[in-house]
Amino acid sequence: FDDRDGKIWMDGEMVDWRDAKVHVLTHALHYASAVFEGERCYNGKIFKSREHAERLIASAEALDMKLPWTADQIVAAKEETLKANGFENAYVRVIAWRGSGPDMGVAAKNNPVRMAVCCWEWGNYYGDAKWQGAKLDISKWKRPSPETIPSHAKAAGLYMICTMSKHAAEAKGCSDAMMYDYRGYVAEATGANIFFVKDGEVHTPLADCFLNGLTRQTVIQLLKDKGVTVHERHIMPDELESFQECWLTGSAAEITPVGQIGDWHFQVGPMTREVSDAYEALVRS
Ligand code: PMP
């Protein structure tokens, strides 16, 4: 991914894609002191750009890291990067991290906090067969308790178990994995939140130990505006067989229908299509 044409915004400068490098003693590389955002630009406008910038700042604060950029500056950096690459429709990745500096132990108060903005064209997160319904494995890794790690932040360290879960899922021919939380409740996928439909009502796990996705919040609002009852609650695994539809939400995943989780099957049904259409219309409006 590092060998391609394009521009990357790095600490306020626009650099060539191939030159956007960091030193091997970067603190984040050793201790996961990094936070990031994944967003999409539709027809020249990033959906919820400011909310993503504010979340990045909040994630950094959760890691005791002060970003040297304001939300306005982050929003402007993203626009500048899209313009420099000539993209109207693209995925945008912003990352902030503790760089290399005087400290090379666990503590890194004196190391610079750095930031980069990258963008590239990215189609369906789960590939072209989206409407066949994704097949999910069930991960052996559990979303950790908020007392273990700042689980509400979008922080690099939280993704280690996601990568392992996704690798295990792909080895079984699945496109992703559903993860339970530390209590055994249904939590989310490795990079997307999860929703279920039962008899015309929507059920989604309470976001009390994982990322409360901006897409999740958007979809809940869209459903409520349509008069659909949404239950945000703890969901037990043995309830899965009673749900008729299931979909994932995320800035990259958008609305992705799920056809199967482990041995449970779901129909790619009318509510999933309605939510997907409403989301598409909103992000492109
Ligand atoms: N959970 C995880 C672990 C994620 O990585 C993402 C993607 N950012 C989401 C949920 C969905 O968040 P959002 O809708 O804000 O993209």
Angle, alpha carbons 172-173-179 (nearest 5°) = 65
Local confidence band at 279 (pLDDT 50, 70, 90 cut-offs): very high
Domain architecture of the chain: domains with CATH: 7-120 (3.30.470.10), 130-283 (3.20.10.10)
Q: What is the pLDDT of residues 39-88, one digit of tens each?
A: 999 999 999 999 999 999 999 999 999 999 999 999 999 999 999 999 99
Any atom of ligand 1 within 6 Å of the Cβ of 197 = no
ipTM score of complex? 0.99
Reply yes or no on whether the pLDDT at 129 is more than 90: no
Any atom of ligand 1 within 6 Å of the Cβ of 191 = yes
Residues in the chain: 285
Is residue 177 left, alpha or beta, with left meaning phi > 0 and alpha meaning psi from -120 to 50?
Answer: beta
User: How many whole angstroms from 191 Cα to the centroid of ligand 1?
Assistant: 5
Given ligand 1 and candidates 211, 212, 279, which is best to mutate, with the most ligand atoms within 8 Å of its CB? 211
- If you compute the radius of gyration of the chain from its CA atoms, what whole number of angstroms results? 19
Reply yes or no on whether the pLDDT at 128 is more than 80: no
Q: What is the pLDDT of residues 194-218, one digit of tens each?
A: 999 999 999 999 999 999 999 999 9
When pLDDT is averaged across residues 174-197 and rounded to a whole number, the result is 98
The pLDDT score that the predictor gives to residue 65 is 97
User: How many whole angstroms from 190 Cα to the centroid of ligand 1?
Assistant: 8
When pLDDT is averaged across residues 269-285 and rounded to a whole number, the result is 97
Task: Tell me how crowded residue 138 is: count the other CB atoms within 10 A of its CB.
Answer: 19
What are the backbone angles phi and psi of residue 91, rounded to the nearest 5°?
Answer: -90, 140
Helix, strand or coil, per DSSP, at residue 204: strand
Kindly report the protein residue whose alpha carbon is nearest to atom 4 of ligand 1.
191
The pLDDT score that the predictor gives to residue 127 is 83
DSSP letter assigned to residue 190: S
User: How many whole angstroms from 105 Cα to the centroid of ligand 1?
Assistant: 30
Kindly report the protein residue whose alpha carbon is nearest to atom 2 of ligand 1.
191
The pLDDT score that the predictor gives to residue 77 is 98
DSSP letter assigned to residue 155: B
Any atom of ligand 1 within 6 Å of the Cβ of 93 = no
Active site residue 142: no
Sheet of 90-98: strand order equals 13-16, 7-10, 113-120, 90-98, 34-42, 45-46
Token pair recorded at residue 46 = 């990033």
Which positions ≥6 away from 217 have C-beta within 8 Å?
none
When pLDDT is averaged across residues 81-110 and rounded to a whole number, the result is 96
Question: 36 near 96, Cβ under 8 Å?
Answer: yes
When pLDDT is averaged across residues 91-120 and rounded to a whole number, the result is 96
User: How many whole angstroms from 103 Cα to the centroid of ligand 1?
Assistant: 32
The pLDDT score that the predictor gives to residue 103 is 85
The pLDDT score that the predictor gives to residue 40 is 98
Whole-angstrom Cα distance, residue 115 to residue 74? Answer: 9
Reply yes or no on whether the pLDDT at 148 is more than 80: yes
Any atom of ligand 1 within 6 Å of the Cβ of 216 = yes
Any atom of ligand 1 within 6 Å of the Cβ of 188 = yes
Any atom of ligand 1 within 6 Å of the Cβ of 165 = no
3-state helix, strand, coil in the chain (%, to 5): 30, 30, 40
Whole-angstrom Cα distance, residue 105 to residue 117? Answer: 27
Using CB atoms within 10 Å of the CB of residue 3, give its burial: 0 to 12 exposed, 13 to 18 middle, 19+ buried. exposed
Query: First and final CA of the chain: distance in angstroms?
Result: 31
The pLDDT score that the predictor gives to residue 114 is 98
The pLDDT score that the predictor gives to residue 126 is 87
When pLDDT is averaged across residues 17-34 and rounded to a whole number, the result is 98
- Which helix or strand (DSSP H or E) is residue 113 part of? strand 113-120
Given ligand 1 and candidates 91, 126, 154, which is best to mutate, with the most ligand atoms within 8 Å of its CB? 154
Active-site residue among 83, 154, 224, 226? Answer: 154
- Number of C-alpha atoms within 13 angstroms, CB side, residue 22? 22
Given ligand 1 and candidates 193, 208, 212, which is best to mutate, with the most ligand atoms within 8 Å of its CB? 193
The pLDDT score that the predictor gives to residue 85 is 98
What are the backbone angles phi and psi of residue 168, rounded to the nearest 5°?
Answer: -65, -40
